[in-house]
Amino acid sequence: MAVVLILVLIVVGSVLFHVLSPWWWTPIASNWTYIDSTLVITFWITGIVFVAVVSFMAYCVFRFRHKPGNKAHYEPENRRLEVLLASGTAVGVAAMLAPGLIVWNQFITVPADAASVEVVSQQWLWSFRLPGADGKLGRAETRDVTPENPLGLDKNDASGLDDVIIEGGELHLPIGKPVHILLRSVDVLHDFYVPEFRAKMDMIPGMITYFWFTPTRTGTFEILCAELCGVGHPQMRGTVVVDSDADYQTWLGQQQTFTQLTASSGELPPTN
């Protein structure tokens, strides 16, 4: 009987824990409320299945536990029941998968008006690059990284000269405008992760990865690294600030372009 009681307690306890838990996702600060909704659908479906299966087990143990003289029923197969259960499961799975895939399609389809922002990672620092006045990010290569050119911009690409470079500082984003986050690493795998934005993506040396989102609430958010990148992994933090448009423009005006940066470090950019 202790077994029955504890199985019931596990069901009740798990549901209560879920309802009363103070540990829940952070208040969302991006457009990805659909991700949260899909997660809630999944909680409902899986929660019902969990409660049903464990309760049924508890009932079986209660009702069919051994007593002298008991004999089990002999029934090798029941094709109808098996087909019924399999179909029911398939329906439940489809109910989770379908919205999931629809939202995934949105997740990987970057809107045409999204502004590009590059995030560059290294052990254990975040840097950022904005396209500058021409709206285009210049070419960059890991091979071109030097102490004076930490993000490895191609000095022969004119579209890079006006790029705004933020090395190790805060990234600011304007509220309500979709951003196309381009991710690049110069050493090992990292992962740009801001819990409030829900989105995250690994950064891979030699590749450019991406995701997109629209900030929906102003505030200061912590950037964490979510892919093990060596002993400094937990200390690899950064800050992203979502500003009103006016505040954003003020901040942008204070940042240095690639040209200014190389000039201040004593090296003149090429004049082509």
Partner 1 sequence: MVEIPSGSIPSAEVEDVELYHPHSWWTKYVFSQDAKIIAVQYSITAISIGLVALVLSWLMRIQLAFPGALSFIDADHYYQFITMHGMIMVIYLLTALFLGGFGNYLIPLMVGARDMVFPYANMLSYWIYLLAVLILAAGFFAPGGPTGAGWTLYPPQSVLSGTPGGKDWGILLMLSSLIVFIIGFTMGGLNYVVTVLQGRARGMTLMRMPLTVWGIFTATVMALLAFPALFVACVMMLFDRVLGTSFFMPAIVEMGTQLQHGGGSPILFQHLFWFFGHPEVYIVALPAFGIVSDLISTHARKNIFGYRMMVWAIVIIGALSFVVWAHHMYVSGMNPAFGFFFATTTLIIAVPTAIKVYNWVLTLWRGDIHLTLPMLFALAFIVTFVNGGLTGLFLGNVVVDVPLSDTMFVVAHFHMVMGVAPILVIFGAIYHWYPKVTGRMLNEVLGQIHFWITFLGTYAIFFPMHYLGLLGVPRRYFEMGETAFVPPSAHTLNIFITVMALVVGAGQMVFLFNLVWSLFRGREAGGNPWRATTLEWQTPQTPPAHGNWGKDLPVVYRWAYDYSVPGAAEDFIPQNVPASDGITREVPA
CB of 34 to partner 1, least distance (A): 8
Distance in Å, CB of 133 to partner 1, minimum: 28
Q: Which is nearer to partner 1, 49 or 263 (CB)?
A: 49
What do you get for the CA distance between the two ends of the chain, in Å?
Answer: 85
37 neighbors 95 (Cβ within 8 angstroms): no
Closer of 177 and 233 to partner 1 (Cβ): 233
Take residue 117 and report the two structure tokens written for it: 């922002």
Shortest distance (Å) from residue 67 CB to partner 1: 8
Give whichever of 235 and 271 is closer to partner 1, judged by the CB atom.
235
H/E run at residue 212: strand 209-213
Longest CA pairwise span in the chain (Å): 98
Peptide bond into 124 cis (omega under 30): yes
Question: In the complex, what is the shortest distance from the CB of residue 129 to partner 1, in angstroms, rounded to a whole number?
Answer: 16
Rounded distance between C-alpha atoms, residue 205 and residue 181, angstroms? 16
Pair of tokens at residue 29? 């600060």
Q: Output 49 or 133, the one with its CB closest to partner 1.
A: 49
